[in-house]
Amino acid sequence: ILTSLEKLEVAPPSPGQLKHVFFHNALPFVGFGFLDNAIMIAAGTQIELSIGVVLGISTMAGAALGNLVSDLAGLGLAGYVEALASRLGLSIPDLTPKQADMWQTRLSAHL
């Protein structure tokens, strides 16, 4: 006969589930990182060539302003990147709430 404590214990996620958690969290970050850097480079270049020439700011100041534009764009585009990842078949890992809160799952998500 199982005790009530043994009935409440949940098996840790399998290696396949942990891999799924890893990719579910990693792929949107890769997409967002590419988009963020592309916007930063394009905006920094345009700022340096237009405002930078008029105001006489340095290349680094143009890059910093390009980073500001990229960060602001990232706030609005983050949801779209996640939606695109979902459309590409990146489903939510099938875990119980207890499995999702286990250290192995959190480590896999943060890697």
Using pLDDT thresholds of 50, 70 and 90, give the confidence band for residue 84: confident
Q: Is residue 60 part of a domain?
A: yes
Residues found in the chain: 111
User: How far is residue 109's CA from residue 77's CA, in Å, rounded to a whole number?
Assistant: 21
Contact call for residues 13 and 104 (beta carbons, < 8 A):
yes
Q: Is residue 17 part of a domain?
A: no
Using pLDDT thresholds of 50, 70 and 90, give the confidence band for residue 82: confident
Q: Is residue 81 part of a domain?
A: yes
Q: Is residue 18 part of a domain?
A: no
Q: How many domains does the chain have?
A: 1
**Does the global pTM surpass 0.75?**
no
The amino acid at 13 = P
Write out the residue range of the structural domain in which residue 32 sits.
25-92
Long-range contacts of 1-10 (CB under 8 A, 24+ apart): 10/96, 10/98, 10/99
Determine the distance from the C-alpha atom of residue 27 to the mean position of all C-alpha atoms in its chain, rounded to a whole number: 7
Q: Is residue 31 part of a domain?
A: yes
